[in-house]
Homo-oligomer: A and B are copies of this chain.
Amino acid sequence: VSSTLSIGEFSKLTHLSVKALRHYHEIGLLVPADVDTGSRYRRYDPAQARDAQLIRRLRALDMPIEMVRTVVNATDGEQRSATIAAHLRAMEDELERTRDVVASLRALIEQPLLDIEVERRSLPDVTALVISANVRHDHLERWGGAAFEELGAAVVASRADVAGPGGGVFPTALFEEDRGRVTAYVPVSAVQDTIPRDFARVALADIAGGEVLVATHAGPYTDLDRTYAALGAAANEMGIAADGPIRELYIVGPDVTDDPLRYRTEVCWPVVES
């Protein structure tokens, strides 16, 4: 006599907790085959175990519930695979970031002091190809990588003359609120052609210069906070407070070398006498 299963029995079949099953019912992700109108007892069909198995695996990979719903409801195998693949890619990105942080933690412990040289400089106004977006601090590196690749392609496509190292503009909100409107740019002295439409995110814009304190950060971007701290402390000691967005200039970056230890980044602290 084949029949439905109580929530406890279904839990044993699927290894999903009773609490989780009730939750999935409540949000409509995995609805019991039948619910008794009087007692409200849930009844599951053994065939629902397949969906449960899928859900359990996706959740074990920390896929957000709404994304799980997309996968489970996918009528089309292509769409299902694409959603899963997207999540796996995000996981790999996360893993890479984790590796970077582990290395950065080791570096901090082994060599807690960083000595930097601070220099005062006047940044010129520049015209540049730019990409701007609202970015979270922990997504900065990945976002920047994609942005500069696109900018590089746009430079070629518009036959522009590059007039200096690429840079980033970071409003204080990026640090204070962990997200903000960030701009990546490549200075150009002349743009022969208009920017092709394929580069929808790329624009031509002016980047204002100004007085800054500069320190050169040596090494991976994950360690940038250490140069920020040293530079900020130095500025503070000089009685200078940062005014406006912080600038980074990518003197040696991934476009030049594959070894992050060789990266060189100039961190520019906008200057105001106090």
Which A positions have Cβ atoms within 8 angstroms of B?
1-3, 5, 8-9, 11-20, 46, 49-50, 52-54, 56-58, 60-61, 80-81, 84, 88, 91, 95, 97-98, 101-102, 104-105, 108-109, 112, 137-138, 172, 175-178, 224-226, 228-229, 232-233, 236-237, 239, 241-242, 246
Q: Which 8 A-B pairs have the closest CB atoms?
A: A46-B233, A49-B229, A13-B232, A17-B178, A15-B225, A57-B105, A2-B237, A13-B229
**Within 8 Å CB of A12, what residues of B?**
172, 175-176, 228, 232, 242, 246
Among A52, A224, A228, find the residue whose CB has the most chain B CB atoms closer than 10 A: A228
Q: Given A13-B233, A232-B12, A242-B9, does the pair A53, B108 have CB atoms closer than 8 Å?
A: yes
With A and B bound together, what is the CA distance between A256 and B222 in angstroms? 43
Please, could you name 17 A-B residue pairs with CB atoms under 8 Å apart, sorted by A?
Answer: A9-B241, A11-B175, A11-B176, A12-B172, A12-B242, A13-B233, A17-B175, A19-B178, A46-B232, A49-B233, A50-B112, A61-B101, A61-B102, A61-B105, A80-B109, A81-B109, A88-B102
